[in-house]
Amino acid sequence: MKLRVSELFESVQGEGEWLGVPSVFLRLSGCNLRCTWCDTPYASWHPEGPVVHLDELKRQIAQFSPRHLVLTGGEPMIFEPIIPLTEWLKAEGYTITIETAGTAYLAPKCDLMSISPKLSHSDPEDPAWRERHILTRQDLSALKWLMSEYRFQLKFVVRGEFAEADLAEIDALLGELPPCRPEQVFLMPEGTDRDTLRASLLQLMPHVMERGFRLAPRLHIDLFGNTKGT
């Protein structure tokens, strides 16, 4: 079995509940969505990277020291080989986070399912993808299933200056999903540079205070900028 790998590197987790944890990042190439603001177009809009046999991929992963592996993309949950890969990772003692938009059904081993449902501001202008993206960016049945089967966090990309509109969408979606604790919901500002992110974090602050959600800085952007391998 094989997977197309966009990136494999070690860094610290920059987002969500396990912020700052030393981690191995395995970014798979390929995605079923086409977010207009996607910060990894090389794994979605223009998938790149070698196709690697699982045995070779395991050997490469084992070269790194961290025992927390973040499986990301693209969209890792559309690739069947992640099931035997995550079974091997658990057998080797790894803790696993999977980053997903929550639109696909697979049952890999996972310690934290990091689910990032996409809001309407992600809809692309590209006519070749716009309708398909709009129709598939949220799947209530898949979201409900993931929330019932895994320890999870919900991580929403929110635009600071349009937070009210984005939060209206989030509130409506949460109303259709199983109950979750407010601290399982993260608001993460949209942007790929420090100044934009800082301004948006300040704009989102009152909203997390009001709702009890969590504010999600993007530590890797603050440390390294919007660069590959970080």
> What single-letter amino acid sits at 69?
L
Higher pLDDT, 199 or 70: 70
pLDDT, one tens digit per residue, over 163-174 is: 899 999 999 999
**Domain assignments of the chain as residue spans, ordered by start:** 2-224
Token code pair at residue 11? 């860094």
pLDDT at 89: 98
How does residue 161 score in pLDDT terms, banded at 50, 70 and 90?
confident
Residue 30 φ then ψ, to 5°: 130, 135
pLDDT at 221: 67
pLDDT at 159: 85
H-helix or E-strand spanning residue 79:
none
How does residue 224 score in pLDDT terms, banded at 50, 70 and 90?
low
pLDDT, one tens digit per residue, over 107-142 is: 999 999 999 999 999 999 999 899 999 999 999 999
Strand, coil or helix: 66: coil
Token code pair at residue 165? 């509109």
- Percent of the chain residues topping a pLDDT of 90: 81
Residue 77 CA to residue 7 CA, distance in Å, equals: 16
Is beta strand 95-100 parallel, antiparallel or unpaired with respect to 68-72? parallel
- Residue reference for tokens 């990277």: 49
pLDDT, one tens digit per residue, over 10-39 is: 999 988 999 999 999 999 999 999 999 998
Higher pLDDT, 113 or 219: 113
Q: At the topology level of CATH, where does 2-224 sit?
A: TIM Barrel (3.20.20)
Token code pair at residue 89? 């990772």
Q: Of 9, 11, 41, which is closest to residue 27 (Cα–Cα)?
A: 9
